[in-house]
Structure 1
Amino acid sequence: MSDKHISRQFDVDLNLLSGRLLEMGGLVESQIALAMEAMNTLDLPLVEQVLDGERRLNAMEIEIDEEVCNIIARRQPAARDLRLLMATSKCVTNLERAGDEARKIAKRTRRIGMETNARSINISEIKVSGEMASHILRRALDSFARMDTVAAAQIIRDDEAIDNEFRAFVRKLVTYMMDDPRTISIGLDYLFIAKAIERIGDHATNIAESVVYVVSGTDVRHVPRDQLNPDASGN
């Protein structure tokens, strides 16, 4: 994740931190996959697996943040090293929140599974956006592990596709609910699921933005997507 330092132990600390971050990322990916599978199949035992897994994510967030604080206190890093540690803490927060969104999907799925008309709405856009969100999160974690700003910039631009799927589903959902008021309750549950997926994409984008910040020192959080340079410098 960084250049070699005079202190080998500093490199060891950073590598261990990177490993923990990627481990947490893998757990979040698993949580999202389980939540989407539960939604697709209305498999309620899978819902419980997602809810159980969230406790582990919360514990990992605390553990990694504590280690970041310990490294800062011991090493007093500056420049890129300090940006890296700050970005790692932010990434951990985004991963935990993405896990929260998986929990929301699972809880709404449990409600839907108890409805008699659970299959009354075509949710193809949700399925597509879920796959896209999972993929973009995996790419964001990979770009963070390699500090690849070009890949990170592409991820930031690609998030728009998930937003488009969300908007398409909302338009279709409104039509369903207007045509048949009996679908309103279940339609709102699916709306919350679609929004949770969109937020997962946002958290992945936040991780990609952290890569640019670490490498270039440039904050691109409010730079329009179409103005990002190929090298993601934001200048």
Structure 2
Amino acid sequence: MADKHLSTQFDSDLNAVSSRLMEMGGLVESQMRGAIEALTNFSAEASDRVIAAEQRVNSMEVQIDHDLTSIIGRRQPTARDLRLLMAIARVTANLERIGDEAQKIARMVKSMIASGAMRSLPSSELRVALELASGLLRKSLDGFARLDTSIALAILKEDDAIDREFNGFIRKLVTYMMEDPRTISPSLDLLFVAKALERIGDHAKNIAESIIYIVEGTDVRHTSIDEIESALR
């Protein structure tokens, strides 16, 4: 009876911290949507909303970390449960970093608006990459909620698409800067936006790897796709 009581308490604590994590994920998703709106419409208002949300995201990270430390100290979880808590900590850190990158995009958009040169640059191509990155985040949160390794594997494969978009965009920006030196400053702003998008894809990939870690008990960081697929068979 005592063991059941402790198990029930642990499940309650785990459900609570998982709910906070998904709430944090929803807030970071809203930052991504705001970043898309900011870049699509060159909207300072949308940029400001993204930037304003960052403090709340940071506070949620601190609260979740505190909750995890408390659960570990009070419940002394078994190896499998401890693995789950460690994965939640990883996901929390990656969500916070995605929020940071969304904020960077919003700040860069405001810089481009102030410069007045953004319309002459290929920002529309960045919106494609931003949509891809936002989609990866959405899938990673869905995969985590379901603990679905098939979704996680799909994310790991799709991250390559963002890398291809990034590399192609960099080549195009270099061409713009060589043809017209006046575009160098705003092009550098777009370069920072592109780099932020690449990092968002990397963080979504990290969340996908955490899903596999929870389900399979295997750390697949720095592992090839072929090896991961083999491990999941």
TM-score above 0.5, yes or no: yes
Sort the Cα spacing of 1:137 and 1:230 in 2 relative to 1 into closer, same or farther, 3 A: farther
Question: How far did residue 149 of structure 1 move?
Answer: 1.2
Within 2, Cα distance between the matches of 1:232 and 1:177? 46
2:112 paired with 1:73: no
User: CA offset at residue 226 of structure 1?
Assistant: 3.5
Matched-pair contact (CA < 8 Å) for 1:153–1:230: no
Q: 1:133 to 1:230 in 2, by over 3 A?
A: farther
Instruction: Answer yes or no: is 1:174 the counterpart of 2:179.
Output: no
Tell me the equivalent position of 2:60: 60
Look up the match of 1:144. Answer: 144
Report 1:32-43 matches (<5 A). Answer: 32-43=32-43
1:150–1:230 contact (8 Å) kept in structure 2:
no
Q: Which ranges in structure 2 are unaligned for 5 or more consecutive residues?
A: none
User: How far off its partner does 1:6 sit?
Assistant: 6.3
8 Å contact kept, 1:150–1:231: no
Cα distance, 1:223 vs. partner? Answer: 0.6
Q: Aligned partners of 1:152 and 1:181: how far apart in 2?
A: 43
1:228 counterpart SS class: helix
- Matched residue, 1:115: 115
| Matches of 1:230 and 1:120, distance apart in 2 | 47
Letter in 2 for 1:45: E
Q: TM-score, normalised by structure 2?
A: 0.94
Question: Cα–Cα, structure 1 residues 41 and 5, in superposed 2: closer, same or farther, change >3 Å?
Answer: farther
1:42 Cα deviation from its structure 2 partner: 1.3
- 2:90 counterpart residue number: 90
Structure in which a larger fraction of residues adopt helix: 2
Shift in Å at residue 61 of structure 1? 0.3
Q: Which runs of 4+ in 1 moved over 6 A?
A: none
Asked if 1:29 corresponds to 2:61, the answer is no
Amino acid at match of 1:124: S
Q: How many residues align?
A: 230
Q: How far is the alpha carbon of 1:5 from its aligned partner?
A: 8.8
Match of 1:188 in 2: 188
The unaligned stretches of length 5 or more in structure 1 are none
TM-score under structure 1 length normalisation: 0.94
Please state how far the C-alpha of 1:231 moved relative to its aligned partner.
Answer: 5.9
